[in-house]
A and B are shown apart, each in its own frame.
Chain A
């Protein structure tokens, strides 16, 4: 195994080992914290339930994130183009970003109904502001010399957008995506706990918590952590392909 793969695996094994030891040494009551070995055993005994729930959660989080990204690219382009629009949108986006969404999940479910819709809506809503700010910043960072060059051959607005501004926003969009992965999963999990759909890891977690089923609850938590890790790894791979040309992707001196 090469070093790049070995290091994170060692890190995780050490973490799980310490967790196991801590629980077995009896410092923590089982409901508060289950040992990883017990969680893994429970998960392998109920594979299909967790797999189908995880699949639902992945869909909520990823489709919601994609919607957020599309809306953000639209808003961001408009904000980068118009100062008025930027100043009008900024406070609203900031408001969205700082309001704890947990507080209004129930209201959204009452408003747009149960099931998938509120999950996608809230995931998209909470991920959108950061993506929008990243789009604006990235587009602003486009090289002025290249902008002038494109102007010298009368490039249309959409060509400048497509060939210069959007690619310039890639680095900041990827940075934001790393942060939004966690946010999207948390939002999906919490909405699934309250959207009366009985689907997704959030629904398992919510039910297990109310019935005092520690194994089921900790398995849901464990599955969420696994989803987050896998998402981040996939995102890194995507970034390596999409941003081969960028400084962040070159080997660094230490």
Chain B
């Protein structure tokens, strides 16, 4: 549903090179993680792909068009690192936020946010204000807010980084359940190896700044995936492979 192509993409902030010439082809419907050390340029890269930041050089295509095109047609749904919920909106209204703005381009076949909220276990909290929710619950609202847009591309920037380990494990399982079989393309930024392997079809390992691809690892674990996938010997192997690639990048 949403193929992403990068051709010799570069990004600089003044003198600072954040993305070195990078070429990449992401198949529609794939779950792709980008893992790399802090400050290497992951956020910048996904902001360029989401049309929030212009590229310095090279080309970016989302569905065969410029990212800005995808953005103006609400074909990119973002989940930021901080939930960014509006404190004066209830859970229900927060989940609707992205549908409420720029309405003319809303999808016709969107699933009602209430249904999704119910699916992530927030059915009893529809009329509650964000400050009454735990961090994990707030991030689930942020996830529903993005999914409710029914966009072909989902961009998630370290969405679980601020959560505790137990909550993160739950969120991995929940996210898999929500996107599996929906045909949505997911670009997922993380610096957790477990998270990348458990969720992805493909893991891209980046070097420290400027972003260069150290490894491109296919994750051949079966779907649908449950929590048990993390006990699979193949899972452990793949985690080791990602870890080694990260080390290679750090020492390069």
**Chain A: residues with CB nearer than 8 A to chain B?**
143, 145-146, 148-156, 159, 163-164, 167, 170, 243-247, 250
Secondary structure class of chain B's binding surface, majority of residues: loop
Considering the complex, give the chain A residue whose CB is closest to the CB of B73. Answer: A154
Nearest B residue to A152 via CB reads B78
- Closest chain A residue, CB of each to CB of B87: A245
Q: Looking at the complex, which one of B71, B72, B102 makes contact with A159 (CB distance below 8 Å)?
A: B102
A153-B84 in contact (CB<8A) = no
Other CB < 8 Å A-B pairs besides A143-B86, A152-B71, A152-B76, 19 of them? Answer: A145-B81, A145-B83, A146-B84, A148-B78, A148-B84, A149-B98, A150-B101, A153-B76, A153-B102, A154-B105, A155-B101, A156-B101, A163-B86, A163-B97, A163-B101, A164-B86, A167-B88, A245-B87, A245-B130
Count B-side interface residues using an 8 Å CB cutoff.
Answer: 29
B52, A148: Cβ atoms closer than 8 Å: yes
Please, how many angstroms separate the alpha-carbon atoms of A150 and B149 in the complex? Answer: 13
Contact (Cβ within 8 A) B98 A153: yes
Q: Are B86 and A146 in contact (CB under 8 A)?
A: yes
Which of A150, A170, A243 is the most central at the interface, judged by chain B CB atoms within 10 Å of its CB?
A: A150
Nearest A residue to B129, CB-CB: A245
Which one of B51, B84, B129 lies within 8 Å of A149 (CB-CB)?
A: B84
| Residues in B neighbouring A149, C-beta threshold 8 A | 78, 80, 84, 97-98
Contact B50 A152 (CB under 8 A): yes
Contact A143 B84 (CB under 8 A): yes
- B49-78 vs A, CB cutoff 8 Å, 1 = contact: the mask equals 011100000000000000000011010111
Distance from B94 Cβ to chain A, minimum over Cβ atoms (Å): 10
What is the bound-complex CA distance between A163 and B99, given in angstroms? 13
Q: How far is the CA of A170 from the CA of B88 in the complex (A)?
A: 10
| Residues of chain A contacted by B87 (CB below 8 angstroms) | 245-246
Chain B's closest residue to A151 (CB) is B52
17 A/B residue pairs, CB under 8 Å, sorted by A: A145-B81, A148-B52, A149-B84, A152-B51, A153-B76, A153-B98, A153-B101, A153-B102, A154-B71, A154-B102, A156-B102, A163-B101, A170-B88, A243-B88, A245-B87, A246-B87, A246-B88
B30 to chain A, nearest CB (A): 21
Which B residues are CB-close (under 8 A) to A167?
86, 88
B131, CB-defined interface residue at 8 Å:
yes
Instruction: Check if A245 sits within 8 Å of B131, measured CB to CB.
Output: yes
What distance in Å separates the Cβ of B86 from its nearest Cβ neighbour in chain A? 6
